[in-house]
Amino acid sequence: MRVVIITDKGLMHKYLCVQIAERHDVVAVLHPSGRSPASKGRLRSIANDVKKYGAPATLLQKLSGRLGWNRQASVQRAQQRVFAGVDAAYDGRVGRVARDVEDINGPDVVHLLADLEPDVVICLGGPIYRAPLIKAGKLMLNYHTGISPIYNGTGTIFWTFANKHVHLAGGTLMVMSEVVDGGDILAHYLCPIEADDDPGTLFMKAI
């Protein structure tokens, strides 16, 4: 099976690429890179959060990272713990077919995807995908780390802890849709839970 993967470049994303490449013919890995450079980083990120969530919610989020559980630190620890050594496997398996893409929805990428003629395109994370890209291949699937339709949107696996729904930590495989998490649901995965798990480790288990 010819597969194209669209995902980010974290350890968990590289792990996904390696696992798929061990089973199928991965003809391309596309990493969306059209985001604000880190050097423009913190102030722009805070300003965007204030605009999106409001000042009180943003303040609480920043304070919680300093005074209590820190999502970013938890995820980084869990990635290192679960996916240590995956960089080498990624370079060996798919490094030669991987490329950064500035505008994943741009016409050049749409044409590239059509020319590759994949049997399936698999997406994990990244920006919103538009109709021309979705329709460029035979089938585009999205893996979402949340149990849809109960938990839709990005990062929703962490809300299972906040809402005391830890038993709903997991992921959803669905057909990609222009509507965020709006495609047909194909399968759910529920993580095995151990006493020392936290939101970060269950996030990695979902991957």
pLDDT digits (tens, 9 = 90+) for 67-80: 566 777 888 888 88
Is 66's pLDDT higher than 60? no
Buried residues in 178-198 as b, exposed as e (16+ CB within 10 A): eeebebeeeeeeebeeeeebe
Structure-model confidence comparison of residues 174 and 163, the more confident one: 174
Q: For residue 172, how far is the Cα from the chain centroid? A: 12
Q: For position 199, what pLDDT does the model report? A: 86
Q: For position 108, what pLDDT does the model report? A: 96
Question: Element (H or E) spanning 134, and its range?
Answer: helix 131-134
This model's pTM is above 0.85: no
Q: For position 37, what pLDDT does the model report? A: 38
Is 27's pLDDT higher than 90? yes
Q: For position 51, what pLDDT does the model report? A: 72
Q: For position 33, what pLDDT does the model report? A: 85
Read off the pLDDT of each residue in 118-134 and give the average, rounded to a whole number. Answer: 92
**What percentage of the chain carries pLDDT values higher than 90?**
51
Of the pLDDT bands very low, low, confident and very high (cuts 50, 70, 90), residue 61 is: low
Instruction: Kindly report the number of other CB atoms within 10 A of residue 165's CB atom.
Output: 13
- How high is the mean pLDDT of the chain? 85
Is 163's pLDDT higher than 60? yes
What does the CA dihedral 190, 194, 198, 203 come to, rounded to 10 degrees? -30
Q: For 103-122, how does the pLDDT look when each residue is reduced to its tens digit (9 = 90+)?
A: 999 999 999 999 999 999 99
CA 94/CA 75 separation, integer angstroms: 24
Of the pLDDT bands very low, low, confident and very high (cuts 50, 70, 90), residue 159 is: confident
Which range has the worst mean pLDDT, 17-26, 89-98, 174-183? 174-183
Burial of 144 (C-beta count, 10 Å sphere; 0-12/13-18/19+): buried
CA 138/CA 144 separation, integer angstroms: 20
Q: What is the DSSP string of 25-54?
A: EEEEEEEE--S--GGGHHHHHHHHHHHHH-
Q: For position 88, what pLDDT does the model report? A: 94
